[in-house]
Amino acid sequence: MDGRIMMDAKQELARMSEELDSAIRSYIKDEEPNNLVEACRQYPYHGGKRMRPSMVIAACGAVGGDKDKAVPLAVAIEYIHNFTLIHDDLMDGDEKRRGMTTSHVKYGMPTAVLAGDGLFAKAFEIISTMDVPSDVMRKILNIVSVAVWDLARGQQMDINNENGEKVTMEQYIETIRLKTSILFASGAAGGALIGGADDDVAMAIRDYAMSLGVAFQMYDDILGIIGDPAKTGKSAGNDIRKGKSTVIVCHALKNIKNKEDLDRFESILGKMDASEDEIEIARNILKRTGSIDYAIEMAEKYTKDAISKLDCLKDSKDKEFMIALAEYAMSRDV
């Protein structure tokens, strides 16, 4: 990947995140009970890369639209994303996220559930305030509503995939398409519609974001195996310990030819107390099988597919950013 483009994407993300910050902080008013309001604010106010809301704004601009009109949808998509993070952390029992104490630990499980519900409700309240024609409003409400339903399906598939059953590559891709890609896609399509795009262009931009989301999650899976813990902030072996069905594991279980390697790998996969030495053994088996190289090739394939979907757009700074964002998605070290 072009290092200059990657840096441009990071810098532009930081700039857009800063510009969106005041809007993200403007919709949750001071009300009672105070602890619920604080819990609702915790995740979205803490920051993060904000790729999803930035994509809403860029998609609107890339089709020649007024980007200010896309800000409410950008905030709504960020709220929905954070609502899913609160519930994900609760389901996974995680105690830390982005260096902060997770919602269910800080505020208690009941308040965390309500905070997620509150962000979900706020998102649709915000969408209802958008200055768009009624037919565009209906399309966006449909796209976002279906996305939240698909998110729930993807999350349940992810939970089901941890029950010890072997997962096919097709099942894995469908899971991340729903769990990760769909919110990118709904935001991008919605931004394009706000910008005045016709349905064909909006769907091309949606397809761009779907492929980007798959590449993004695949690269996260790769970092979960071979990433530098000093940069990622998490152990590079935890996905193996949890027995997660990632692109790497799906490929390995189908392609490890040596029975001794297969038996050893399966004995380590899903072993929560696996030692660092055992993780290194599993990692070496994955390397010998070509599973890590396969995952990188797959992520690159989806990145190229994402970029190709933007051929329908005229050249612009926003289009350049969307291309750079796709390349950045699988060029990260964190």
* pLDDT tens figures, 96-133: 887 788 999 999 999 999 999 999 999 999 999 999 99
**Dist CA 150 CA 153 (whole Å):** 5
> Does 24 fall in a domain?
yes
> Does 239 fall in a domain?
yes
Task: Please list the helix, strand and coil fractions of the chain in percent, rounded to the nearest 5, in that order.
Answer: 75, 0, 25
**Dist CA 250 CA 315 (whole Å):** 38
CA 184-190-192 angle, 5° bins: 105
Query: In this predicted model, which residue has the larger pLDDT, 4 or 6?
Result: 6
Q: What is the average pLDDT value for the chain, to the nearest integer?
A: 90
Domain count, the chain: 1
The answer to which of 32-46, 229-243, 262-276 has the lowest mean pLDDT is: 229-243
C-beta of residue 51 within 8 angstroms of C-beta of residue 81: no
> Does 97 fall in a domain?
yes
Nearest Cα neighbor of 144 from 87, 68, 84 is 84
> Does 267 fall in a domain?
yes
Indicate which CATH number applies to the domain containing 39: 1.10.600.10
Domain of residue 282 covers 3-329
pLDDT value at position 231? 64
pLDDT value at position 164? 57
**Phi, psi (5° rounding) for residue 96?**
-135, 145
Query: In this predicted model, which residue has the larger pLDDT, 37 or 5?
Result: 37
C-beta of residue 264 within 8 angstroms of C-beta of residue 281: yes
> Does 141 fall in a domain?
yes
For the cut 80, the answer to whether the pLDDT of residue 261 exceeds it is: yes
> Does 334 fall in a domain?
no
pLDDT value at position 229? 67
pLDDT value at position 166? 76
Query: pLDDT grade, residue 2 (50/70/90)?
Result: very low
pLDDT value at position 230? 62
pLDDT value at position 3? 44
> Does 7 fall in a domain?
yes
For the cut 80, the answer to whether the pLDDT of residue 54 exceeds it is: yes
Q: 0.75 cut: is pTM over it?
A: yes
